[in-house]
Structures are given as C-alpha cells and as structure tokens.
Structure 1
Amino acid sequence: MKDQILHGFVEDFRQENNFGDEKEDVVFEHFVNHCLVSKQYPRDFDLGDLSTGGGNDIGFDGAAFIVNGNIIANEEEVDFLVEKNGSLDVSIILIQTKNSVKFKGDQVGTLIFGIKSFFNKKPAIPENDQISNLRKIKDKIYSKSIYFDSPPVLKIFFATRGEWKEPEPIQGRVDFEINEIRAKNIFSSILFDFYDAEKLKNIYRELKRKTIKEVHFSKHVALPEIAGVRQSFVGSISAKEYINLISDNEGGLQKSLFYDNVRDYQGSNPVNTEIENTIKSASKQAALCILNNGITIIAKKVEPVGEKMKLTDFQIVNGCQSSHVIFDNRAIFNDGTNIVIKVIETTDQDLANSVIKATNRQTEVKLEAFESLAPFHKDLEEFYRAKSKIISNPIHYERRSKQYEGSASIKKWQIVTLAGQIRAYTASQLAQPQSTHRYFGELLESNRSRMFVQGQNLEVYYLSSLLLNRIEHAFKRQKIRGFYKKFKYQILYIAFQILEKRRSNDKGYAYAVMAEEVADLKKAIQLFTDACGVIDSALRNTTLKPYDAARSKAFTEEITL
C-alpha cells in the first residue's frame, strides 16, 4: 500500500482478527467493511456475515441489513423481529472496495448497475450464494412493507486507498444514476459516499481509541458519596453542547456511545414523536429539561476543570431515544435550551450493570438485553478467565460490552460474545445446528429453561465456544474449504459428538483434556476434517441442496452419530 499509516492500520486489523497470511486485497475488504459498518452499527457482528466478494458478487464486496437495530444474516430473522416489535425499521448498507489508489468511473458504474439489478424483481446478472441470500432477505423485508414506519434507508459506500477529489464526471454519473434508483420509491433516503485513505484512517482511529470528550457543564452539583462510585454529578447542559458530545469526527451521531444502552433507537414511535414535537414547539422547547427524563452517562474517568468536565471512556446507558431525536433536530435548537444529565464515574462493573438495569426499567426491553447481567454469566466469565491461564491462545467471555476494548493482550478474535455463546451452545449441546441462523434472542427465548441455568456444567459452555473459535480460525487460515462455511455449526455439532464418544470410552478423557487438544489447531483440524467427512456422507444421502441442508432438522438427524 502506498499510504504506510493505512497499511499499518490494516495490518493491525489483520492481527486483531486473526487473518494470518490471507491476501492483502481480501483483508482490506474486511477492513473497509468493519470500518464502515461499525460507524452505523456499534454492536458486535461477524465479519463473515458482511462479506460478499468473489465471483458473481454484482459489484458488492460487503453488505449489511440492519433491521430493528440488529444486523440480520437470514430471512427468517425478519419474521421474528416483526413478531417481536410489531414494526420494521430498516437500513441497507452496500459497500464496494478497491485496493487501489484511484477512483474509477467504470468501477462505480459496475456497482450502481449491480444495485439496480439487486433491487429488480429478477436479477439481470448472475448472483453468487451470498448475494442470493441477501436477495431473499430483501424480498422478505419488502413483503412485510405494511410494517414499515417509513421505507428502508439505502447507504452506498465506495472505498479505495487513494484520495477522493470529487471528480465531476464520477460525481455527475452517480447523481444521475441514483436519481433512477430513487424513482423506484422504495427508499426513504439514499446516500452514496466515497471513502478514501484519510477517511478510513480517521474511522479506524475513532474505533480503536477510548472516547475522550470535554464539555461545558457548569450547572451541576456533586452527589453524596456512594460505595463503588468515585464521584457523580447531576445537572443541566446546553442542548447544543450535548449535541457536540454525541457527535463523531465527521459530524454524524457517534453510535458507539450507545453500545451499553439496552434499547436501540425505536424510530418514530409515540414517545419519540412527542419528544420531537416538544423540540419543534417554540413555546415548549425551553421546557425540555423538565419534560424529559434526561440522560445517564457512565465514565471510567471524570475530571471537572472549572466550568468544563472531561469524560474518558464513557457510555450513554440511558437516553438513547432522546439523544437520537435531539441529534436529528440539532439544527433548530435555541441557545437557552438545556437537558438534564447524570454523570457517574465508576470502574465497578457490577455497579454499572445495576445502573443500566435501574435506569431502563421504565420501558419494555428485550430478554437478551439484560441476560448477560445475570449471576450465571459472571461465573462463566470467571471460568473463562481461569482457563486462559492454562490454554494456549485462550478465548475470553465478554460479559459486559466491549470490556476488553483496548486490551493489548486480548485480540478481537479471542472474544466470545453472548450471541456467539448462545449459538455455540445451541449447536453442540441442544443438538440444533440447523437453528443457529435464527436471531440469537429468539434462540435464547425458545431455550430459556435449558440454557444459562445455575448449576450447569461450565466446561461444556467453554468447550463449545472454543470449538467454534478454532473452526473459524481454520476457515480464515484456509485449513477447511470455503464450501463448508455454511455448515460451520454442523462441524461444531459433529466434533463435539466425536469428543463425547471418546470420553465415554475413556474415563480419563475429561473436558479439560478435550479443551487442551482443541486449543491445538493442528489436532483440531483433524477433528474438523473428520466432521466434514460426515457432512459429505450425509449430503450424498439427501436430495437437499447444501444451503437447505444446513437449515434442515432431518439433515441434523442424518449427521447425529
């Protein structure tokens, strides 16, 4: 790469995500997908779910469907989210990445043609399996259009490692072509943006660094001493100052600040509409601070300096809805409009969890939103930590969102999220690898009495996740053919069965011994190769196509040893 700083960032990303000797073009595509999607979606996601590059990719290298605040990878998740929420709020992100220093008009044209084909009823050009799956998701979403609060938002990004100088021929072509797409009247808005090396570097810096902001907060009082809290304050802040606090380097909403909020933005629901009406009212806007419940901020470090306050590594744990509405209406705020905020400095995770629970009890929240705060997960986190002392290249359970952010010793590829743990356990212990494509909250809800129950063996939770981690590692290192990616959880299911059979024949073959063997990738690869052999045999005995077999209960029964 010509830009050595960007090259360093991509190499850092390579190490963080365990891409090993993967080709630079491929890693750069993943890097761009990570940066651009993370800006729109601050929660954890699987990079593999975003990647669409390869033959017949119709010009996309990355894509994300964000439905009701969740990135979805399968059409079935749409039905669950409609049933759960009663409405659909959809953003569609499409990304083209070129590992070159130039922005070329023909490449932009290819992307736009691919987008037009994708949103036609029938494709004009061949589509690979990933694109075909995205088409199914798209068709499912639009079949549920009666549940739209407003049509989906379409965001298109074209990225290279060069410098964007807004060449008139390319920009003019984009404007003309996008007007044709806009004429379909199937989107509430369409954004087409170009990202060059400088913008990509800025995003990656922002994602990697701890958030540090300084705000004017003179109208506050210190709260009495509280166990576990170094200091805390309550007061009012100018709405304009608050908007600066929640804005990113590009002037957009810094969505990562709301990672710990148990509810994603709910769109134009009655409560948010009422907040917006208050802001837009000339007579009521000044009363926002007494009509609104206010904002709660938890920070690792708070430093009052005169009339200012410096916040380090902070999260807005309550006030996500208000913050979004305030930001969306930022152009109409008067200087005298204030909002109430509460600032808490603590590094006590249990206390932080208690604050999150207490400040969000006034609204209905999803079951999975509070799940990881339960005592079982604290025990599981400690078990993982104990294992990390004896297992090579260990995995770590992330009980609290982004708790390992900034850790020099723990890489991103070693982190197990709640969603990952649920899917690994569902596949291996509940014998449901065919169900793992469903939204993880649905899996938790339907298996609530069988999962995360106090007294269950923590070893099997750990081993399930370790197996899944090593399977993903093997795919990245191309030790397992890409064909089997759709059978990732079937490989996990079969591998666990093989280990259990060994244990039943050898009483000394304990879970701890299994974990040590699985941690060794060379030994694990042989296990996974054997599992792929079982899948091959089962595929020869079924008329199902591979994509359908991976979702079939009958196929699961066929691979049960």
Structure 2
Amino acid sequence: MKDEILKSFLLNFIEQHELEEQSLDDSFEDFVNFNIISKLYPRDINLDNLSTGGGDDTALDGLAIIVNGNIITDETEIDFLRKQNGSLNVIFALIQSKSSPKFDGSQVGNFISGVKNFFSPESFLPENDKIKSLRLIKDKIYKESINFDEESPVLKLFFVSSGEWKEPKQITGKVKMELSELEAKSFFKNEIKIDFYDANKLKETYREISRKIVKEIPFNNHVSLPNMPDEYNVRQAYIGNISVLDYLSLIEDQNKNLSKDLFYDNIRDFQGDNKVNKEIRDTIISSKNQLLLSLMNNGITIIAKKVEKIGSKMKLTDFQIVNGCQTSHILFANRENLLNDTQIVLKVIETIDLDVTNKIIRATNRQTEVKDEAFESLKPFHKDLQEYYKAKSKDITHPIFYERRSKEYLNVPNIKSNQIITLASQIKAYVATQLQQPQSTHRYFGELLESNSSKLFKNKNELSNYYLSALIINKLDYYLKKPKLNKFKSFKYQIALLGRVPNLNKPKRALF
C-alpha cells in the first residue's frame, strides 16, 4: 500500500479490533466494509456480519442487508421486523475492495457479474456459505414484496481501491452498459450505479466516523430558555427557527449525503412512507404549504456536549438529533423542492448528563409508538450495570465496558472498540449463557428482549451474571479470531454456554 496515511489508518483499525493475526488483505476488506457500512448504518457493527470475502465469494467482499434500520443476518428476522413496523424498508449494500493502487476494469466487471448473480433467481457461480445465507434473506425479502413501504429496495454498490479514481471512460462506460440489464428488471427504486472509493475518499470517511462531529449553523433568530437548577446539569438551552437550507447543511456529511450518525439517539429510525411522513412530504412538495412548515411541524431537538455562540452563528460539538429524524429524512429526500424562506423550529440543549439526555429523548419521542428495545437502555438498571462494569474493570488486565449510549466511549484513551459491550451484544450473551438459549442468538435483539421480557434486566442482584456472560463472549471473540480457531466462530454462543458461571464469587469455576 503506497499511501502511508491510509496505511496508518488501517493499522490503527487493526489494533482497535484486534485483527493482528489475520492477513493484511483480509483486514483491508474489514476496514473498507466498516467504513462504508458505517455511513449507512450508524449503530454498532459486527465485522463478521459484513465479510463475505474468501473462496467462492463471487467477487463480493462485503454485503449488508439493512431492513427497517437493522442489519439482518438471518431470514427469520424479517417476519419480526415486518410485524413490528408494519412494512419493510430495505437497503442492499454490496462491496468489492482491492488494496492494489489501481482500478482494474476486469475486476470491476467481475464485481458486476457477482452482483447480477446474487440477484438472479438461482446462482450460476459457486457461492460460499455466507453468501448462500444472505441469498436466503434476499429471497425472503422479495417474497414479502407486498409489505414494502410502497417502494422497492435500494441497491448501493461500492468498489474500493487504494489508488486514485480518475473516472476513466473505459470503466464508467462499461459499468453503465453492464448495470442497465439489472436496472431493467425494476428490482430497485434507485438508479443503479457504482460508488468508487479511492484512497482519499476512504481516508476522509475514516476521519469522519472516528472523530467528534463539529458544525456551525446560522441561528440568530432564537431565545434562551430559562436557566435550569444546577442539579440538572443543563448549561444552556435555546429555541428558535432556522432556514431548512441551513438545517440541511447541518445534517449532510462531506459528500452531501445524509449523516446517519446524527440520528442514533433519536430512538426511532426513519419509518419510510407511513401516514405522518407522507403528510410531511406533501407539505414540502407544495410551494404554497411549505412555508407553513414551522407552524405544522413539531420541529427538531438537538442535544450537544458543547454549544458556543459565535456572532450570528452557533457552534455545536458532539451533538445528536434526538427528535426530528422523520422530518430530517424527508427534508433531505425532497431537498430540490425546498424554498429559501422555509423555516423549521429548532431546540438546542447543551448537557453532558446522560440521565438528563435520556429524559429528553424519552419525552420527545412519545408522539407515536416506539418499540420497547428503543427505550430499554434508558432504564435505571442499565446505569447500575454500567457502573458494575467500571468497578470490575480494575480487576482484570483487559477490561470490558458497557455502553449505554452510542459512541460514549469514542476517542476515550485506552478503550478499544473490541472492549465495548452494547445492549444488543449484552442481550445475546445473557440469553446464550444464563438463559441457556444459544440457538436463539441469531434473532434480532429486540425480539429476544420481547420474548424474554420477564427475565431480562429485572434483578439487580444478578449484575455479575450479565457482566460474566459478556466477558465470556468477549474473550471468545478474541480467541476465535486466531486462524486455527476461526472455523468454530459460528458456534460461539454454544461454546460460551459451556463456560457459563452462575457466581463470580467462585473464581475457580471461571473459564477466563
């Protein structure tokens, strides 16, 4: 790899995810998959769920199927998400990555052939087990086409090289010609194209997803909300209005795409063309009614760790849009119709207090139904669990940390991504080891929470069991990355059950 900066980013990624024992080419594929899918899916990513590279990969190195805001790894999850949301909103993301410093037309052609093969009724090429499993999910999705949210799935294709992309006509022309056949089948609602990532674009993406978000917006037309007592830890808060065009600049990333990272704490992912969202869209596309948006819409709520007033502008550091995900997505999708004079109501709150943040999130997301898993991590049990993890971190060499709020450990010194336990991973670890249901861990974590609601996160005397279950899985993840043990990865939860220890006070029985 000629680009030394990109190489340093890759080595940092390898260290963060403890990938030292796999080949550099495999790590590059993981690095690429992580960067690209993070832009589409701002939640916690399991690298194993994205990787399809290796023997019989049909020129596909990464593949993610995102349904209703969740990466799907088993076809049985489709029914649950359909029942939960009432419809299916689907994104297919397929990736080919090459660490070589050039874009090769034949390799691009092989990638397109692999894409066509994946969406054909049956495979004409040998496929590995991972792609076969994803094919079953794809087939299940199209069998449920009557439940699409009135539009077909979106297809996103990415080809990555560590070289420089100069848009050679011999490649772009071939791509357009080859993809026209797939587009004619009307499987997808979007124009099908390949997004080419070169070294510079890959570096920009990694920088963006690895750092705190800092943006400035014009926000002169606002008033201060009353000061809160010190016990609430709210330093300042404002409410006012902002031009929808200025708001778009806040929610767009460097490539003018919607920055999905900003909506993680919104609780409710974008719900597609439901009744309320259709009404917002109809308001926006009507030049007559669009100017009434600030009167008809509840507005946007932003929580930032730091707010600075700089003249007529406001600088926001490390912020989240905790209410307004639906409005934001529809504004972005209809940005060509937006008028200069259209305004949106905006509330900005500065606090670093997680409890206050959680109260605001809960209060501002009660207008429509929100599923239980969305609010689960806001409950008091999880604060106690997080503190228990911190207390136990002093006892072991390689501690783990429970993350109640997305990315709260981002850029924290000495805490690597592979040390972080999320709500989803905690639920699966506990269900596998303590509830002795390793066969159920392929299911969506919200479904596991729902089906085990009477057993999960109820008894604070069992904090040690939650911690231990996650610790066992975390250590297994480390060992199963080793080449000689990698073949047992699919049995991770079954192996974890064998190491289940119901009482931490009996350390001789501990597996690790």
After TM superposition, the score normalised by the length of structure 2 is: 0.97
Deviations 1:328-382 (A, max 9, x none): 1112211111100000000111000000000001110111000011111111000
Shift of 1:449: 0.3
Tell me whether 1:197 sits opposite 2:189 in the alignment.
no
3-state SS of paired residue (2:266): coil
SS of 1:345's equivalent? strand
SS at match of 2:234: coil
Alignment of 1:474-513 (within 5 A): 474-480=479-485, 482-496=486-500, 499=501, 510-511=505-506
* Secondary structure of the corresponding residue to residue 466 of structure 1: helix
Distance 1:45 1:449 in 2: 28
Once the 2 structures are TM-superposed, how far is the Cα of residue 511 of structure 1 from its aligned partner? 4.7
Note the alpha carbon deviations across 1:426-465, whole angstroms, 9 max, x for none.
Answer: 0001111001000000000000001111334111111110
Aligned to 1:543: none
Residue 216 in 1 paired to residue 218 in 2?
A: yes
Relative to 1, partners in 2 of residues 1:513 and 1:383: Cα closer, same or farther, differing over 3 Å? farther
User: In structure 2, how many angstroms separate the alpha carbons of the residues matched to 1:270 and 1:3?
Assistant: 49
Look up the match of 2:440.
435
- Structure 2: how far apart are the matches of 1:148 and 1:91? 11
Would you say the 8 A contact 2:176–2:193 is kept in 1? no
1: distance between equivalents of 2:389 and 2:220? 44
> 2: CA distance between counterparts of 1:383 and 1:209?
28
Aligned mates of 2:460, 2:94 — CA distance in 1 = 45
**Does the alignment pair 1:169 with 2:174?**
no
Q: Secondary structure at the match of 1:94?
A: strand
Q: Report the alpha carbon displacement of residue 200 of structure 1 after superposing the two structures with TM.
A: 0.3
**Any stretches of 5+ residues in structure 2 without a counterpart?**
none
User: For this pair of structures, how many residues does the alignment match?
Assistant: 507
Distance verdict in 2 for CA 1:86–1:187, change over 3 Å = same
| Superimposed CA distance per residue, residues 169-220 of structure 1 (whole angstroms, 9 cap, x where no aligned partner) | 1111100111000111111112311100000000000001110000100000
Q: Secondary structure at the match of 2:97?
A: strand
- 1:182 paired with 2:187, answer no
Counterparts of 1:312-323 in structure 2 under 5 Å? 312-323=317-328
For residue 352 of structure 1, what is the amino acid of its counterpart? T
Structure 1 residue runs without a partner (length 5+): 504-508, 519-561
Residue 390 (str. 1) matches residue 385 (str. 2): no
* Partner-residue secondary structure (3-state), 1:489: helix
Residue 21 of structure 2 is aligned to residue 26 of structure 1: no
Residue from 223, 227, 244 that aligns with 1:225: 227
Equivalent residue letter for 1:378:
K
Give the Cα–Cα distance (whole angstroms) in 2 for the partners of residues 117 and 20 of structure 1: 33
Task: Check whether the contact 2:21–2:483 (CA below 8 A) recurs between aligned residues.
Answer: no
Q: What SS class does the counterpart of residue 265 from structure 2 fall into?
A: coil
Other-structure match for 1:446: 451
Pairing 1:364–2:369 present: yes
Q: Which secondary structure state, in structure 2, belongs to the residue aligned with residue 78 of structure 1?
A: helix
Question: 1:122 deviation in Å?
Answer: 1.2
Tell me how far apart the structure 2 counterparts of residues 382 and 220 of structure 1 sit (CA, whole Å): 38
CA, structure 1 residues 122+298, in 2 after alignment: closer, same or farther (shift >3 Å)? same
Q: Residue 197 of structure 2 aligns to which amino acid in structure 1? A: Y
1:232-311 alignment to 2 at 5 Å?
Answer: 232-311=237-316
Deviation, structure 1 residue 514: 5.4
1:164 is paired with a residue whose SS is coil
Rg larger in structure: 1
Counterpart secondary structure, 1:260: helix
Query: What does residue 128 of structure 1 align with?
Result: 128
Matched, 1:145 2:165: no
For 1:473 and 1:86, the matched residues in 2 are separated by 38
Deviation, 1:477, is 2.8
Q: Is contact 1:388-1:395 (8 Å) kept?
A: yes
Give the ranges of 4+ consecutive aligned residues of structure 1 lying more than 2 Å apart after TM superposition: 509-515
Contact 1:463 1:511 in 2 (8 A): no
